[in-house]
Structure 1
Amino acid sequence: MSIGIPSWMRPAETAEPVKTITVEVLARRGVADNVVELTIGGRGRLPEWTPGSHIDLHLPGGLIRQYSLCGDSHDLDTYRIAVLRESRGRGGSVHLHDTVSVGSVLAISGPRNHFELESAAKYVFIAGGIGITPLLPMINAVNDRGGDWTLDYCGRTRSTMAYADRLADDSRVRIASADNGRRLDVRHLLAEPDPGTAVYCCGPKSLLDAVDKESAAWPEGAIHTERFTPKDVDLPTSSFDVRLARSDLSLHVPAERALIDVLEDAGVVVPASCREGTCGTCETIVLDGTPQHRDSVLTQAEQDAGDSMMVCVSRSCEAPLLLDL
C-alpha cells in the first residue's frame, strides 16, 4: 500500500491483541493519607509475576493505568496494589478511590516487568512516596534468600507514606519525612561506589534525578530506576520513514508528530497508555534500523541493543525503521 491511505479505507490492525482478565475487589483499606490498597482476584489462578512487575487496569472511558504489584509473588490467588489519589492526574486514581469498592469488577492485563530484580551481593533500595510499592516484593524476595539490603524511604509527611509504620520496625530501614525534619541525603548515600551492590529506586522525578546525578561514578548496570514521569531528553527532532513488516505499509513521520499518532492515522492500533515513554505498554519490536530512544523504561543496555522501542515517544536516528507491525 502507498503512503497516506486514510484509515477509514481499510480495517484497523492491532499490533498485539491485549488479553484482559476479569477480577473482583476482595478487600480495600487505607494504608496512608490518600493511599488505598486494593486486593483483587477471586476468579481463578492469576498469571505468575516477579518482583518489580505491574499490571494494567482497564478503566471506563478507555483509560489504562499501571500499578505496581506490592503483595506476595507466591500468592497467585490475589494481587495487591496501592493507589495514590492524584486529583490533578488523568482520572484513573480518582475513579479507583471514589468509585471502586469491595465487590467491584475490574479488567486487568499483564503482569509486565521492566524493573526486574537482578542478582547482587547487596541491595540498596531507595523509595519516594508511592514509589515504595514495587520495592516491597523485592525486599521480601531478598529476605527470603537471606540477602543483604537496606531501605531509605522518604516522603513529605509521615502520614502519606504507605506501609511506613510496618517498615519502621526493621533496623535496615531508614525513614525520612520532611515534616519530622528528616531529609534523604542522596549524595551521602551514593558517595562511594560499591561493586557488587545493586541500587533500586522508585519515586518522584526529583528523587530519581538526584540518584542519576549522584550515581555517575557507579559501575554500569548498578543503578535501576522506575519513573512515574518521563526523564528529560535533549535530542534533535526530525522527520523519518517507517516500514511495517506485517501490515505492508510505508509511512512518513513528520518532525512535529509522534510515531504512534501516524500509526493510528494509518489504522494500525498499538496498545498505549501513558504516551510519555514511562509505562512500556507500546513497546514494539524493531526488525531493522536504529531507534532514537526517548523513553524512561528501557535500560541503557536495552536501548543500545535497539531491538525494541516505545513508539509513543521514540523516533529514528537515520535510516527508515522496519517494525514488526
Structure 2
Amino acid sequence: MKPMVLTGDRPTGPLHLGHYFGTLANRVRLQDVHPMYVLVADYQVITDRDLPGEIQSNITQLLLDYLAVGLDPAKVTIFQHSAIPELNQLLLPFLSLVSVAELGRNPTVKDEIAHSSQQAVSGLMFTYPVHQAADILFCKGTLVPVGKDQLPHVEVTRLVARRFNERYAEVFPLPEAMMGEQPLLKGLDGDKMSKSRGNAITLSATEDETAALIRKARTDSDRLITFDPENRPEVANLLTLAGLCLKRSPQDVADEIGDGGAASLKRLVTEAVNEFLRPIRKRRQEHTADDVRMVLREGNVRARERAVRTLDEVRAAMGF
C-alpha cells in the first residue's frame, strides 16, 4: 500500500513554533513525497471546553498559518472535520473496540483533563483518541507526523485498526508516528509550549511581539551561558530554540554567547526567531480569507469522497 499521511490541528488559536518544529516542517517536506490529508479538527475543539470560541476566525487563521509555512493545496487535501459526517459514523464501531479503562489510562487525555477549562470532564474527552483514530483511518493513513505528546493517540489508532482487522476483515493498515525535528519544544516559562498557557511564540506574531515575549522568558543568574538541559533547563530551551532557527547546535550557540549573560542570550534568540519567521510572515500576508474558503471547499469534497468509500468498506466487513 502506498504511504498516506494524515495530520492536522484543532482550530483553538494561532499555531506556534512548537507546532512548526514538532509537525509542520515535516508536513511541508512530506507533501512532495506522499499523498497527504490535513485535518482542521473543529469538532474536537469542544473536547476540553464548553464552547468552541471564535471558531470561524480560528479556522481562517489556522489555514493562513498552513499556507504561510508552505503547505500547498495543490499537493495536499485540507479539510474540515464538521464537513465530513462519515468520520463520526466511523467513530461508533471504533468505540466498540476499546475499553473505558484503556481510554482512561491514556496519558495525553490525563494531561488535557488537567488543563481543561470544563468544570466536569465530558464523555467526549475520553473518546478523543478514538475520534483521532477515525480521522487517521478514514483515509487509511499510514504516516502520522506528531509531537511527542500525541504519541499515545497514535497507539490507540493502531489498537483500533488491529482489533477491527482481527474481528471483521483486513481493512486498515497500522499507522506509524513520525516525530518532528524537535518533538517537544518547551514554552518560554519552561513548561510545555501551548496556545492556552500563553507561553508560545506564534507564527503570526510581529517582530515586536516576539521580542517582548522573549524578554520575559525565564533564565538564571549565571552569566556564563552553557547548554545544560538537566541543570539549566530554561537557558537550554532558549538555546535550543535559537539553534533550530539558525540550523546550528545549541552548544555552538552557547559557545558564541559565552559570558554575555541572559541579555545577550535573549538578544540572539530574538534576532534568530525574527529572521526565521520573516518569510513565513511575508507569505501569510499574501493570502486572504477568500483563499482559505476556496481551499476548504475543494478539500472537503475530496475528503468526503474518500470517507464514503472507507465507511462502505467498514459496513461490508461488519455485515451491515
Tell me, yes or no, whether TM beats 0.5: no
Higher helix share: 2
The two structures have a TM-score, normalised by structure 1, of 0.23
The two structures have a TM-score, normalised by structure 2, of 0.23
Instruction: Kindly indicate whether structure 1 or structure 2 has the higher relative contact order, using CA contacts under 8 Å at least 6 residues apart.
Output: 2
Higher strand share: 1
